[in-house]
Structure 1
Amino acid sequence: EAIPGAYDQSQLVSFYYQSNAPFDSFRETWFTGMKDLERIEIHKEAVATLEKLAKRADAVYENMQETGGMLEQSPLLKEAHTHYLKSLKLFSQEAGKFITADKKINGKTLKRELDTDPGILEAKRFALIAQNEYYNSILKWNLNMTPELKDNELTKKEDLTTVEWNQLNLNQKNVFLTNMMLLQPLFANFAPQDLAVKVDTLLDSSQEGKIKFKHISEAVKILVATGAISNGDYLAMETTRYDNEIIPLVPSLVQP
């Protein structure tokens, strides 16, 4: 039986401010830190960069730990909040191991080791699980708002043809992409909707005969390999492309 108020807009907005936005700010800091490590030659400077990242993870964790109480009505959102906390805890713990390790390595080598470290990979996996739960919660809201919209099985497939992709609305596309990002895994400094809008734009090019692909996985591969997706791409295009979509009034999905 549905819990009154579960997955309503206020719950989604609360989650955005309590969990999603704080974690995204950490994620952005992490990627900036990784980029900095690439050019650092001195071991002490590399360790100092990692210390800042660990402290940032701790600070965001502490702030997020104090929130989340308003999410009791929406179990998926509560789980997502917990998974973001687990992710932050692991990022901090694993970074700590590298900080105290007696290795005199430069930033580039340190980054390479961080990228393959099992604990860091697990931290990223928890973040991708949380992301998946959040966007599934948005889809639940959409299904509650639009009863005629059926829970489309296409969102659960490992890959889609371009024809299948075009049958989905934005909320469904985002769920499909969060599934794909979790399976690959693809922990990246952009949101699913940034990827969705780029896939749709690439599809336009495909229809014009510029680029040919039949499956969405091919489009994602091209976009990621060429570094064509940036955080905020969706908001830059949202007002024109998704005018007729039913989207919750969450800051990351709707222009202020």
Structure 2
Amino acid sequence: MDKRLARTDILFVLGFLFMLVVAVGAFFYGVKVGTERAESAQAQEEKPATAGAETSPNAYSLQDLVSFYHTVFLPYREFMSEWQSAEQKWLSVESADRSSSIKELVKLANAQYESAKIAYIPPVSPLLQEAQDSYLKSLKLYTNSLSSFAASANEGTGSILLGQIRKDAFYKEAVNMALEGQTEYYNAMAKWAAIVDMTVPYDAEYETLVELSKWKTLPLISKNLLSAKYLQEQALSESFLPQDLTARIDSFLASGQAETMKLKTMGSVADILTRTDAVRDGDFLQLKSRFYGSQMLPQLPFFSPDK
């Protein structure tokens, strides 16, 4: 018997194989196209939501910034003012009842936490929501840290007690969270300025290594954000605010000292000023008319000399 396939059989087999290859190819192509379309549709759905959050006229409104100041920022600063006053008293008055002082500070931190916790922050301003969360965590951590020293606070000297507190893990994290909240608040101000005036640049990626030549061209709102970032990077919790550091940097540049010392970056100038205690609370208000007469700022009490 002739076992060779007839020509028609060969053509049939080849045709079948060809159709099988085409079918498989079409299947995988369909899967690829379907996946790409699904991903594209998802991206289109997400994009308007993100863009809307960034461009919404209700995002980072002046009302939100002012409300945050009074309901979250101010309660925290009031606690910090009392804490810093206690630090100074412990160092200058050895007979001070540090144990009672700590108990009062813990009570105040708890009260300010409860006050700031109920503040409503609209979802269209996520940076303010994050700032609120950071400040709340800070107050809670201060409570945990200080409470652990209340019983033994009157033992030894004030300086020894402060040294122990500053080494405490909860205390260190309390400082970090507060500075993170401060940066987020000043970032929200920069967002506000960019929404109100589209000519005002907004760049959350500015770094404290920024060259002084670039620093000089930045609007005040951006400089303040950089100053807040610097304080956060250096873990500096001070009585002065970011705008005080900004003003002192600009005063230092105006004096020509940065050029004489061959300093190149904003961070290098800030290092000298903070390490020599050259920045004070209120420096911005003293220098505002000299350097920032026409600069855009939100109408917040700490930017106004009459508040």
Fold-level match, TM-score > 0.5? yes
User: What does the per-residue CA deviation read over 1:208-245, in whole Å, with 9 as the maximum and x for residues that have no partner?
Assistant: 96655222222212211221211121122223321111
- 2:221, 2:196 → 1: CA distance? 12
Give the Cα–Cα distance (whole angstroms) in 2 for the partners of residues 121 and 21 of structure 1. Answer: 21
Residue number among 142, 145, 148 corresponding to 1:91 in the alignment = 142
Distance between the aligned counterparts of 2:153 and 2:219, measured in 1?
51
Structure ranking higher on relative contact order (CA contacts 8 Å, 6+ apart)? 1
Q: Tell which deviates more after alignment, 144-153 or 51-60.
A: 144-153
| Counterpart for residue 64 of structure 1 | 116
Percent identity (aligned): 30
Of residues 126, 131, 137, the one that matches 1:75 is 126
The Cα RMSD (Å) is 2.1
Gaps of 5+ in 1: none
- 3-state SS of the aligned residue for 1:98? coil
Distance of 2:213 and 2:151 partners within structure 1: 52
Matched, 1:174 2:227: no
> Is 2:106 aligned against 1:54?
yes
- In 2, distance between residues paired with 1:217 and 1:124? 20
Gaps of at least 5 residues in structure 2 are 1-51
The number of aligned residues is 253
CA distance in 2, matches of 1:22, 1:173: 25
Query: Secondary structure at the residue paired with 1:156?
Result: coil
User: Residue 179 of structure 1 aligns to a residue in which SS?
Assistant: helix
Alpha-carbon separation, structure 1, partners of 2:181 and 2:222: 17
Q: Which residue of 2 aligns with 1:25?
A: 78
Q: CA 1:28/1:222 → structure 2, altered by over 3 Å: closer, same or farther? A: same
Q: How do residues 220-239 of structure 1 correspond to structure 2 at under 5 angstroms?
A: 220-239=270-289
SS at match of 1:248: coil
Aligned 8 A contact 2:65 2:189 in 1: yes
Instruction: Give 1:116's aligned amino acid.
Output: K
- Report SS of the residue matched to 2:150: helix
2:192 aligns with one of 112, 127, 141: 141
CA distance in 1 between counterparts of 2:153 and 2:174 reads: 23
**Corresponding residue SS for 2:281:** coil
- After superposition, the Cα gap between the structure-2 partners of 1:109 and 1:40, relative to the gap in structure 1 and judged at 3 Å, is farther
TM-score by length of 2: 0.76
How far did 1:62 drift? 2.0
Structure 2 distance, partners of 1:4, 1:36, is: 47
Q: Deviations over 1:8-30 (max 9, x none)?
A: 11111111111112211221221
* Structure 2 contact 183–225 (Cα < 8 Å) conserved: yes
Which has more radius of gyration? 2
Note the 1:68-217 alignment, pairs <5 A.
68-101=119-152, 104-152=155-203, 156-206=206-256, 212-217=262-267
